[in-house]
């Protein structure tokens, strides 16, 4: 099997004539929703734990660093798990690990310990990593190669539905009305600990409910008969006459995933605090959280639209247009204030929409039996969501949150390069040579 980027003209059919993958595709789509929902809850945890533990911007971004840093640690092992037990069982293993991570929020909240919260996030992210390494390429190869980007955009749209709903959920069940930080700092040690225990307890019920849901979903996925895609994996110990390092589109694509996730997460995790700034929106956290949902909701709408557009237009061209628009909107927000700054940064979500699935399918084009290994590299690059927000947090502490957004602008400019040049698979490069 050779996965090709859509509209490149170099594809090998995976599906049999007349074969329908609607049911398995719908089943796997539920996984995209769940990890989107859980990932976006971090945008609510950042301001919530920032307030509880009196953190600066850089320290509060350790939440994203712990979560997305797990991708660097667990993505390659996850690819090996796929080689050993297959895509379906790897999805089940990922869901059960996610469930364990969700349950670990209870002892973290009971101890009001920031390090324990970070540990729970690492376990949760380890499960999501395994799920992503399995589910993204599985959807890509579950059908005709020429519609891989369209298909992955469709499933990612339900991922964005999860990210759209999560801020409402988190704002309702997790965020509380903040107290004045000067008053909190003046509390005696016992009173301060009691305050932290009370505020941290709001995460217990939501995450226990999510943990139960994940376990039930693991049971459902394990009992469902998903088709095996043997062409897109190789057995442990099997020799393959190709190497992932011979595919420049994979290497450039991994960097593009790194900067894309970094930019998207940086923007999302700062929005509650950004919208609370007097010169931007002057909104209380609960209200600001609702506007964060529109940032992620834009990605959901864009992916449904993108799924249709990518049936007719080249993936690289649409990706380039979205990169230009995203960079322009972030720049507009940096250079303005008030509602214009607020709504221009929200609108970035719409143009983020098709980036991940498009970069992913362009990056793993023509990998054949190395698809699982290539997916591991691409998912490992999601560690950008750990590093870039932490860097932006440090910059925000130095020059202010408003102008720290120049970092995502640089990220979008790299994505523009990838769309126009770096995404070309070997068949195109050698044809022009």
pLDDT beyond 80 at 291: yes
Answer for the pair 169, 259: CB distance below 8 angstroms, yes or no.
Answer: no
> Could you tell me the pLDDT band of residue 129, with boundaries at 50, 70 and 90?
very high
CA angle, residues 12, 17, 21, in degrees to nearest 5: 90
Q: Among the listed ranges 177-186, 202-211, 326-335, which one has the minimum average pLDDT value?
A: 177-186
pTM: 0.75
Mean of pLDDT values over 67-76:
90
pLDDT > 70: percent of the chain:
89
Cα-only R_g, the chain: 21
Domains of the chain as residue ranges with CATH:
22-229+237-432 (1.20.1250.20)
Q: How far apart are the first and last CA of the chain?
A: 25
pLDDT > 90: percent of the chain:
47
pLDDT beyond 70 at 110: yes
Residue with the bigger pLDDT between 333 and 84: it is 333
Answer for the pair 355, 378: CB distance below 8 angstroms, yes or no.
Answer: no
pLDDT digits (tens, 9 = 90+) for 208-223: 999 999 999 999 888 8
Q: Among the listed ranges 34-48, 129-143, 289-303, 349-363, which one has the minimum average pLDDT value?
A: 129-143
- The C-alpha atoms of residue 85 and residue 97 are separated, in whole angstroms, by 16
pLDDT digits (tens, 9 = 90+) for 407-432: 999 999 999 999 999 888 766 655 55
pLDDT beyond 90 at 127: yes
């Amino acid at each position: 099997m050779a996965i090709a980027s859509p509209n490149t003209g170099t594809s090998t059919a995976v599906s049999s004539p007349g074969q329908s993958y609607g049911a398995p595709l719908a089943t796997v789509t539920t996984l995209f929703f769940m990890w989107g929902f859980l990932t976006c809850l971090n945008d609510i945890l950042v301001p919530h734990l920032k307030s509880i533990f009196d953190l600066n911007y850089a320290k509060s971004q350790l939440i994203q660093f712990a979560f997305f840093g797990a991708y660097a640690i667990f993505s390659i092992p996850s690819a090996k798990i796929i080689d050993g037990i297959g895509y379906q069982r790897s999805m089940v293993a990922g869901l059960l690990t996610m469930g364990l991570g969700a349950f670990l929020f209870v002892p973290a909240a009971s101890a009001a310990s920031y390090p324990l919260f970070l540990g729970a996030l690492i376990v949760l992210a380890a499960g999501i990593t395994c799920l992503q390494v399995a589910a993204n390429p599985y959807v890509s190869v579950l059908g005709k190669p020429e519609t891989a980007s369209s298909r992955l955009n469709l499933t990612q749209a339900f991922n964005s539905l999860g990210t759209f709903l999560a801020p409402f959920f988190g704002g309702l069940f997790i965020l509380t009305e903040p107290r004045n930080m000067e008053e909190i700092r003046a509390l005696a040690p016992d009173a301060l600990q009691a305050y932290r225990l009370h505020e941290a307890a709001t995460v217990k019920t939501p995450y226990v409910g999510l943990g139960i849901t994940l376990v039930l979903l693991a049971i459902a996925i394990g009992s469902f008969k998903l088709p095996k895609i043997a062409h897109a994996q190789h057995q442990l110990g099997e020799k393959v006459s190709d190497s992932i390092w011979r595919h420049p589109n994979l290497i450039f694509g991994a960097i593009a995933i790194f900067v894309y996730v970094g930019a998207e997460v940086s923007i999302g995790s700062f929005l509650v605090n950004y919208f609370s700034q007097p010169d931007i929106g002057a909104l209380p956290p609960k209200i600001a959280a609702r506007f964060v949902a529109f940032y992620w909701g834009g990605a959901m709408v864009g992916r449904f639209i993108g799924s249709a557009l990518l049936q007719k237009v080249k993936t690289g061209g649409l990706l380039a247009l979205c990169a230009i628009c995203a960079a322009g909107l972030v720049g507009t927000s940096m250079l303005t204030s008030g509602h214009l700054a607020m709504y221009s940064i929200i609108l970035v979500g719409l143009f983020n929409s098709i980036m991940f699935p498009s970069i992913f399918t362009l990056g793993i084009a023509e990998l054949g039996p190395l698809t699982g290994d290539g997916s591991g590299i691409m998912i490992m690059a999601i560690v950008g969501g750990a590093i870039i927000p932490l860097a932006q947090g440090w910059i925000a502490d130095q020059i202010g949150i408003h102008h720290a957004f120049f970092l995502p602008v640089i990220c979008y400019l790299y994505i523009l390069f990838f769309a126009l040049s770096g995404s070309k698979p070997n068949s195109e490069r050698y044809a022009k040579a």
